[in-house]
Amino acid sequence: MKKSIFTVLLGASLIALVAGCSQQKEEVAASDINVGIILGFTGPIESLTPTMASSAELAFKEATDAGILNGSTLNPVRADSTCIDAAAATSAAERLVTADNVAAIMGADCSGVTTAIANNVAVPNGVTIISPSATSPALTTIEDKGFFFRTAPSDARQGQVLAQVVMDRGIKKLAVTYTNNDYGKGLSDSFVGAFTAMGGEVTIEVPHEDGKADYSAEVSTLSASGAEELAVLGYVDQGGKGIIQNSLDTGAFSRFILADGMIGQSLIDNVDGDLTGTFGTLPGNESDGAAMFIKMASANGIPGDGPFEQESYDAAALIVLAMQAGGSADRATIAKNVMGVANAPGTEILPGELAKAINLLKDGKEVNYQGATNVEFSDVGEASGSYKELEIGSGKFNTIQVR
């Protein structure tokens, strides 16, 4: 009898111990969620990406502090897209998806590598990828099966906005150079098409390769076309900067028309010459949400109004809210819920209000994430967005108006 009682007690203890271990494993697994951040930490926009990543990490921390998924911890894992090397970007993304087992990816940045990652890694593995800065019009029609989104608007729109800015300034004739990749070609096509449709004249279009030491041949060709104004549709830390430097050195051009890839303080800091009067466009706005983000970001050592910082925060915020809406960090669940938290109906959510959103979702209510950039997705999961018209003066980019 004693042996029977002992056996029963021992069995009960073992069952309790096993149950406790199982519960502990389940809790550990549920509380530790890896999320990917893939951006060009090296390459032609490397001066922009540190604060983009920090902005996304700000949202992940905010969600963790708010108790997402019953107290889970979101662990950001960074990877380098290089911005220009599709093979390297694909390999980096594969490591995130396999070795790091990320639930979703914030990124990538440049359009070519984003396309490669989406087609070769994210979509085949059913991983949601939300880019804050890939703007090629070609991304609108990729076969993404509902896994690719972007918080930056397509260059199909930026080209039109930039053309209108140029025409409004009374410029009717110009030359164009663009970085020779998906981003540069797509933006140039959009801009040139819109500008000529408005009655403008483009004397020449010259593609340029990044990574060259000398751009005198390109600048000479552009100058010989007879244009006095030059649109530079390239990258702030690469060929676009080289074109501008050679233009200033030779006196070929003195003022430049820029798009988003050329907007960054590093251009002003690293070009030898006066860029006063140079102007361009960058996705952004001056909404209440943008102001709230700038205040929150500044308190965490991030400028808040830098290129694609707000879009990066919003991309990360959409990932975490999609998790909470579906009650899981399961990859398919995240993808299924992104559109629902991005658009109406629901309570509008601004930066710094992720705790509010998480609690609403826990209670079974709907949210409409507006964020810093007035997020509203089209039926293919991309933002229409607004643009800042910027001009260099007093050693910095200044906002002239929002369009």
Q: Using an 8 Å Cβ cutoff, are 234 and 208 in contact? A: yes
Nearest to 158 by CA among 133, 130, 141, 181: 133
**CA distance linking residue 336 with residue 128, whole number of Å:** 9
Question: CA dist 163 to 41, 117, 133, 173, 315, Å?
Answer: 31, 31, 20, 11, 28
Q: What are the tens digits of pLDDT across the range 290-343?
A: 999 999 999 999 999 999 999 999 999 999 999 999 999 999 999 999 999 999
Q: What are the tens digits of pLDDT across the range 204-232?
A: 999 999 999 999 999 999 999 999 999 99
What integer pLDDT is reported at residue 384 of this predicted model? 85
Secondary structure E strands in 301-351:
347-349
What integer pLDDT is reported at residue 31 of this predicted model? 77
Q: What secondary structure does DSSP assign to 266-294, as a single string?
A: HHHHHSSS--TT-EEEEE----HHHHHHH
**CA distance linking residue 219 with residue 157, whole number of Å:** 27
More confident residue, 15 or 185: 185
**CA distance linking residue 245 with residue 264, whole number of Å:** 15
- 391, two tokens: 């001009």
Q: Is the pLDDT of residue 199 over 50?
A: yes
What integer pLDDT is reported at residue 23 of this predicted model? 35
What integer pLDDT is reported at residue 69 of this predicted model? 97
Q: What are the tens digits of pLDDT across the range 242-300?
A: 999 999 999 999 999 999 999 999 999 999 999 999 999 999 999 999 999 999 999 99
104 strand-pairing partners: 128
**CA distance linking residue 213 with residue 222, whole number of Å:** 18
Sign of CA dihedral 295, 300, 305, 311: negative
Q: Using an 8 Å Cβ cutoff, are 218 and 206 in contact? A: yes
Computed over every residue of the chain, the mean pLDDT equals: 93
Domains in the chain, ordered, with CATH? 33-153+287-369 (3.40.50.2300), 156-283+388-402 (3.40.50.2300)
- Confidence tier at 385 by pLDDT (50, 70, 90): confident
Residue with tokens 């967005």: 385
Largest CA distance in the chain: 106
